[in-house]
Amino acid sequence: MSRLLAFGGAFNPPSAAHIACADCARIQAGYDEVMFIPSKMTYIRNVQKKDYAFSDEQRLAMLRKIAENRPWMKVTDYELTRTEQPRTYETLRMLWQGGYSPSLLIGSDKLPELETGWKYVEEIAHEFGIVVMTRNHEDCRSMIENNAYLSTLSRYITVVETPEKYQDVSSSAIRQLVTEIHDAKQRLSELVPEELEGLKEYL
C-alpha cells in the first residue's frame, strides 16, 4: 500500500513552490507519492473569493503536464467531478478506499484555519495524520504549541521544512504577473505598427 500525501488546493495556477515543497515534504516525512487534488473553480471564486480562477480543465491539464516526468506526483480530478465541493475528510476516505495510505498535506498558512474553517479535523488527524510545510518563514512548531486547539492535535502533526527559495512564492503573485503581461501585450499592440505585431513574441 503506497504511503501518500494528499495535497488539495486551488493550484491557480500550480507554482514551482507547490511542486518543490510537496516533493520535499514527501522525502522528509517518508512518503512514496503526493496526490495533487485541485478544487472546483466555483469553490475558488465563491468561497475563497479569489480574484481570478483558471478553469477546472486548465488547472487539471497543468498539473497533469507537470506530473508527466515526476513518477512521485499523482493527480486526481475527484473533487472537480463532484456535484458539490467535497470535504477534505471525504477525499481522504476515497483515497484510503482506493488502496492508498494517505495523510493530509497543508502549508503552514492553513494551520490557523483548522480550528474555525475546516470540518472533521479531529477525524482527519486521528485517522490519517497531517503533514505541515513551512511557508513565509513561519515557526510551525511554536504555532502549534501556543495554540490551545492545535496543541491537542500535536501528536498527529508532522512539520517539515521547505526550501528557502520557495518560502514566499504564491499563486496570487503569478496571477498578477500574468495579468500584467497580458496588459503589456495589449498596450504594445496599440503602440506599434501592425507589421510589428510579431514583436510581442519576444516578450
Distance CA 88, CA 121 (A): 9
Please give the residue that has the higher pLDDT: either 54 or 147. 147
* Cα dihedral value 67, 123, 48, 170, nearest 10: -40
Question: Is the pLDDT score of 165 beyond 90?
Answer: no
Q: What is the DSSP letter of 73?
A: E
CA 146 to CA 166: how far, in whole Å? 26
Q: Which helix (H) or strand (E) holds 72?
A: none
3-state secondary structure of 157: strand
| Grid cell listed for 194 | 501592425
Is the predicted pLDDT of residue 188 greater than 70, yes or no?
Answer: no
Residue 133 has pLDDT above 60, yes or no: yes
Instruction: Let me know: does 32 contact 4? Beta carbons within 8 Å.
Output: yes
Q: Are 45 and 6 in contact (CB under 8 A)?
A: no
